Amino acid sequence: MKKNDIRCVDFHAHPVTQAFRSAMDELGIDVIEEDGFPLPAWSAQDQLNFMEQAGIDFAVLSSPVPHIYNGDGGNARIAARVINEEVSGIVDTHPGKFAFVGLVPLPDVQGAIEETAYALDTLGAVGVKVATNMGGVYLGDPLFDPFLEELNRRKALVIIHPCRARLRPENVITGKVAAIYDYPADTTRAVLNMIANRVMTRYPDVRFVVPHCGSFLPYMLQRFTGVSGILASLGMMETVDVRAEFEKLYFDIAGDPEPTHLNMLRAVAADDRIVYGSDFPHSPAKVVISKKKHFDENTEYDGVRERIYAENAFKLLGK
């Protein structure tokens, strides 16, 4: 990536590769049962065509959901390796257009540490992708501390993506299609757990990117600050500086940042912690391009837009 040539970096792009599709079948994961809709069609050329039309010069690819763990840690390790190798090949085939973050087979911590080393050291990944929960174990759980210690040692970039909760009501619309409610809810649940367990303070060199304008966090930040203080005074949890933990996070604006979500995020997060995300191909090209055009032309974001599109991205990627 040549910094002077980049107008916009996309931190939320999903390579729906053949290896990923095959893994879902081999692991016995029903994509529609998990997410409520099928995996979209995708190819590297589709991605490049979309980027050209949208004015996006560089994309950090992260594998889509469902997460690859389905109770079988050994097969999840195999799936992660095959998927990472295919995505790495795509990156190598299109120099200057893509980077990728490696997929890891959590909650298998040792497997995740080993795959992180392979993805970063051998395949050239710029970081790792993790789900909000993996087999029902959430980010922030002490089980993952050895994995986070390794990521902290490496000063790693970590892209978080929502996953469905293992238990959920099925007789309401929010229980049918994950994108409606479960995705933002599970993102919020996971990050609050990270805050409660002081993950960002204990592992200060890990660069976490939270999706979808922080999901429900702009609302929950103040509420969690108040409730956690009450719980701490009752001895029901450790005292935590919620704001200090939150301020260490980065956020992408995939989804529907206008007219309210981005402003809600900016009310609680600094402008230098926000990066662009398209969510292509799960969000169709025509829809994303229309949203981005509106954002490009909205004078409310003059002076901020450039930071979101590129300046913050360079800092986050260490460029």
The CATH number covering residue 257 comes to: 3.20.20.140
Please give the pLDDT value at position 249: 98
Please give the pLDDT value at position 36: 84
**Number of domains the chain is built from:** 1
CB neighbour list of residue 207: distance below 8 Å, 6 or more residues apart: 127, 155, 156, 157, 158, 250, 316
Element (H, E) at 306: helix 305-306
143-170 residues labelled b (16+ CB within 10 A) or e (exposed): ebeebbebbeebebbbbbbbbbbeeeee
Please give the pLDDT value at position 319: 75
Provide the whole-model pTM. Answer: 0.96
pLDDT in tens, 179-206: 889 999 999 999 999 999 999 999 999 9
Please give the pLDDT value at position 1: 61
**Domain assignment of residue 143, given as a range:** 3-317
Please give the pLDDT value at position 4: 65
Structure tokens at 308: 């979101």
Please give the pLDDT value at position 173: 85
What residues in the chain have per-residue pLDDT under 50? none
- DSSP one-letter code for 143: G
pLDDT in tens, 75-118: 999 999 999 999 999 999 999 999 999 999 999 999 999 999 99
How many Å apart are CA 168 and CA 57, to the nearest integer? 39
Whole-angstrom Cα Rg for the chain: 19
